[in-house]
Structure 1
Amino acid sequence: MSGSEQNRRILLLHSDPLEIERLTAGLNRSGFTVVAADAGRLAMHELVHDPPCLVLAAEGTHGRSADTLARDLRADPFLGRLPLIMLVRDIRVNDLDWATLGVDDYIAVPYRPDEVPQRVRLCLSRLERSLDANPLTRLPGNSTILHETTARIESRQPFALAYLDIDNFKSFNDRYGYARGDEVLVVTCRILTTVVSELTGTDGFVGHVGGDDFVFMSAPSSIDAICQTLIKRFDLVIPDFYDPEDRQAGFIDSVDRRGNHERFPIMSLSIAVVTNEHRVISHPGDVSKIASELKKVAKSRPGSVYVKDGRKTDSADSASESTC
């Protein structure tokens, strides 16, 4: 269940009792619970105990302009963290500097009865996507990945899901620093999204689990070409991230905490591919379990490889098909 479905409590700040009644009735019909208050007399202890998911504030509440009201709300340690929609008279819309006002959306007054709950839902949906997205790559995060995986399982249509991991990424980070490591993640994201888009169109999906772990999905018929193209493009560009001496040597020469010398090869990809072509997959946990086993196989092999599950049973002696 998404965050917006769990918490549908709206804090309404307004000075007009008739408008409060009208807005409350419309939001209630759409499944929201409304806490109405004057911005100057908030029972903060009640709000903290049962926090709202969004603030809907009307210009003029407690005699404050839109600028002042938005600034005061954003400065509040508690309310400032919540998404804010401002109700503004239509003749005032072009007078405000929306880029600096610090609101998430506005609704022009007068408004249609169904407009307010629709805009509230859209605002919460945007917030949920924003919070789930990886801050570096802007790819969907774990919540969206789980939702997409579940949807593909429940569709009962053939699908392939792949976990991608960058080998030797930590040693690269240790040697060159996080800034250059972030560049590698961004380039990997660009390669991945481009390849999946080129080879699957709207059927594809790409997500970022975190760090150097990514997920992508497609129809089984496309997955081999995706993996092969990914590896080709990644292996082509990744050596350029190394200093010339390391690139020429083909590895990073490092010393661990005990003073032992270690050699870490140039970064490569390990990709574990799970499909429901040969077995029934009924839960996202099944995907994770199978992928974990395949990833161990992929990481045991040098260079960039992808390993695709070809087993028709869960028995330990069932061989998995691997392709490099």
Structure 2
Amino acid sequence: MASKARVLVVDDDDAVRRTLARVLDQAGCEVLQSADGDDGLRRAAEDSPDLILLDVGLPALSGLEVLRALRRARRTSAIPVIMLTGLSGVADKVAGLELGADDYVTKPFAVEEVRARVESALRRSRRDLGANPLTRLPGSPAIKDETCRRIRDKVPFAFHYADMDHFKAFNDAYGFAAGDRLIETLADCLTESIETHDQAEGFAGHVGGDDFAALTSLEAAPHVAQSLCGLFDLRRARHYPEEDRARGFIRSVDRRGRPEAFPLVTLSVGIVTTAARALDRFSKVAAIAAEMKACLKSGPPRKLSRLAFDRRTDRIHEDAS
């Protein structure tokens, strides 16, 4: 492996954990261990491992329940998971794959197989997912892949494209560390909105910087977008000093270095759906959503976040003959 990876092993069997720890250590990995599901979830959230080896047959909180919780939480949703199961665990394998497991190793296992599957999972994750290191959300490659999958499978969807207004002024005034914390807050608002309103079909991604994308069902789209805007407007306040928050604007410099007053950050969310248009390629989806977002951002300064659905259709006219 090109760089040292951090792998979390979650298994209630001490002997299995010791064996896996030895194999992974020999492969150049940093190994973390948990003996139950609750501790495994805590370690996953706190330590941000690059990969998790998760036993299906954990006591109390089962491996499948742990996997479901991992996939729901922003900080752990993109971490690849290899499930450990017994010889007769076909049903568990199917259930795990449906919940988002990346691979399986059957007990009793050969150490060479474990090492090969771990290295393969880490390579795939680094190459294909492009997860943002700050938010741990899937990056641009995964956003494109998920959009193309829904287009290919003819699944109706809404594509949301969101970014912050006046984020540069915020960064200039308070520094990059404060800007990163605000980006994390936006990521939390997005994933929480999806978990609340579209847990079955929702997908959240981080394009980069303060740009985010989401895919939802048509029915959930307005609820997710409204929730995102409302949560962000509520939680942004904690990122401002009391004086600036009370005043309702900050003093910074424009792109030419001239002093200027800027409003508090808000969101602009452009949304395009398959309800009105034939969306047959990712470039078209992204371009229309970006156009809607740009239209919002070109308007006068405002105190609250806004969203805009593209209501246009591709149909110019119908032949009446």
TM-score category, normalised to shorter length: 0.5 to 0.7
Could you tell me which of 204, 208, 211 is aligned with 1:210? 208
Question: Percent identity of the aligned residues?
Answer: 37
Residue 122 of structure 1: how far off its partner (Å): 5.5
1:163 matched to which residue of 2?
161
2:70 matched to which residue of 1?
none
1:182 matched to which residue of 2?
180
Task: Please list, as runs of the form range in 1=range in 2, the aligned pairs for 1:12-31 lying within 5 A after superposition.
Answer: none
Q: Greater CA deviation, 99-108 or 166-175?
A: 99-108
Q: Which runs of 4+ in 1 moved over 2 A?
A: 80-85, 92-108, 115-131, 255-261, 300-303
2:290 matched to which residue of 1?
292
Task: Please list, as runs of the form range in 1=range in 2, the aligned pairs for 1:166-315 lying within 5 A after superposition.
Answer: 166-256=164-254, 260-301=258-299, 302-303=301-302, 304-313=305-314
Structure 2: gaps (5+ residues) = 8-15, 31-50, 54-104, 317-321
Amino acid at match of 1:180: A
Residues 226-249 of structure 1, C-alpha deviations (whole Å, 9 max, x = no match): 111111111111122111221111
Could you tell me which of 111, 126, 129 is aligned with 2:125? 129
Contact 1:129 1:140 in 2 (8 A): no
| Structure 1 vs Structure 2 CA RMSD | 3.5
Residue 124 of structure 1: how far off its partner (Å): 2.3
Tell me the secondary structure at the aligned position of residue 220 of structure 2. Answer: helix
Tell me the secondary structure at the aligned position of residue 219 of structure 2. Answer: helix
Residues matched between the structures, number: 232
Amino acid at match of 2:249: F
2:64 matched to which residue of 1?
none
Greater gyration radius: 1
Q: Greater CA deviation, 118-127 or 262-271?
A: 118-127
Residue 201 of structure 1: how far off its partner (Å): 1.1
Tell me the secondary structure at the aligned position of residue 279 of structure 1. Answer: coil
Aligned equivalents of 1:168, 1:111: Cα separation in 2 = 54
1:145 matched to which residue of 2?
143
Structure 1: gaps (5+ residues) = 1-53, 55-79, 316-324
Residues 125-147 of structure 1, C-alpha deviations (whole Å, 9 max, x = no match): 34333461100000001111111
Residue 290 of structure 1: how far off its partner (Å): 0.7
Aligned equivalents of 2:290, 2:233: Cα separation in 1 = 23
Residue 289 of structure 1: how far off its partner (Å): 1.4
Amino acid at match of 1:219: S
Aligned equivalents of 1:312, 1:284: Cα separation in 2 = 17
Residue 188 of structure 1: how far off its partner (Å): 1.1
Residues 47-78 of structure 1, C-alpha deviations (whole Å, 9 max, x = no match): xxxxxxx6xxxxxxxxxxxxxxxxxxxxxxxx
Matched, 1:102 2:32: no
Amino acid at match of 1:199: H
Question: TM-score, normalization: structure 1?
Answer: 0.63
2:65 matched to which residue of 1?
none
Tell me the secondary structure at the aligned position of residue 221 of structure 1. Answer: coil
Residue 256 of structure 1: how far off its partner (Å): 4.2
